[in-house]
Amino acid sequence: PGGEPGDRPSAMFLLRAAIGGILMGLAKLVPGISGGTMLLAAGVYPEFVESVSAVTRLARKWRPWIILAAVAIPALLAIGGLAGTVRDAVLEHRWIAYSLFIGLTLGGAPTLYRLLRPCPRRAIIAAAMAFVGMVVLAFMQESGGGESLEPGGGLVGLGLAGFAGAAAMVLPGVSGGYLLLVMGQYVAVLDAISAASDAVKAGSVGDLLAATPSLAAIGIGVLLGIVLVSNLVRWLLRRHRDVTLGVLLGLLLGAVAGLWPFRQAIQPEPGMVIRGQRIETVAEAEAVPIKHRPTAIFTPRPAEVIGSLVLVGLGLGISLGVARLGGGESA
């Protein structure tokens, strides 16, 4: 890309984008939390979508490339630095992480509301509809509704799965894993990726070539999903700004419905359907990773309630503080 120095965002806005990227990466490690929601909370979502759209059109300006890098690199570093044992430790103390994310999420609402002022009736209606939709989606995800035992697969199915996963990356409040479950493609996608990974580790060219069509279908779907959805959201923000911002506000507030902190992972039992596969034996049940186990509500101790409220306040303060960094440059 080319461009003049004036195209480049300020250092304060880049810091804000980087913090949004870190929060996005952390969200990817915690089930039920959308990375797009964290970008909304940080107040960089509209600019991020604009940048993704510009990059997919090979824009000859520095600004979108810099902003995309400012979000993506910290997100990848956060995922890489906190994966594995750290992630499992967070999941074992779900109420701590989810309380913090409730505050972070709610802290993004004032930024969106400021963009909507004066708030028209159509935006309020759009926000209410999006809020209800998010609450219903959160209930379905918690109850396991929509899981499919169909093996899925087929190049067309894998391509659609890649498209859905990419769309979930761009759209706030939408879980890519849940969409794959509903489509019956969750296991098929994991199998395709696992087959390619095993072939690379074993150095088997034949197995890698056999896995290539499935990976190519997923990759094409991901590419189309990012290009089409980011440009669609960009068009909606430009042509139907109030309604689109209203929907985003509803998605942001509704995302909190899926973040009730006082739930804990429970041991699966034979006969349960976990991530699209039926558990047949006790050994299979014990082998289910904690991040994929069903959860149940528990009664918190007074100290946990107080701690949760403190963490919600901390997350709210962090989010509000981040939103003030380079705030004048928000799209």
Beta strands per DSSP E along the chain: 263-265, 273-274, 277-278, 295-297
To the question of pTM greater than 0.75 for the whole model, the response is no
SS3 state of residue 260: coil
**Residues 315 and 103: beta-carbon distance below 8 Å:** yes
CA distance 320 to 43: 9
For 77-140, the DSSP string reads: HHHHHH-THHHHHHHHTHHHHHHHHHHHHHTTHHHHHHHH-S--HHHHHHHHHHHHHHHHHHHH
In the DSSP assignment, the letter for residue 278 is: E
> Of how many residues is the chain composed?
331
* pLDDT tens-digit map of 205-255: 888 888 888 888 888 988 888 888 888 888 988 888 889 888 888 888 887
**Residues 19 and 72: beta-carbon distance below 8 Å:** no
CA distance 84 to 4: 42
- CB neighbourhood size of 58 (10 A): 8
Q: Give the type of residue at 72.
A: A
Confidence of residue 5 (pLDDT cuts 50, 70, 90): very low
Mean pLDDT of the chain: 79
Q: How far is CA 160 from CA 152, 163, 221, 278, in A?
A: 11, 5, 6, 23
**Residues 32 and 177: beta-carbon distance below 8 Å:** no
Phi, psi angle pair for 297, to nearest 5°? -70, 140
* pLDDT tens-digit map of 155-212: 888 888 888 877 777 777 666 666 666 666 766 777 787 788 888 888 888 888 888 8
CA distance 207 to 196: 7
CA distance 113 to 61: 30
SS3 state of residue 55: helix
Which tokens go with 134?
Answer: 């998010």
pLDDT, mean of residues 29-46: 76
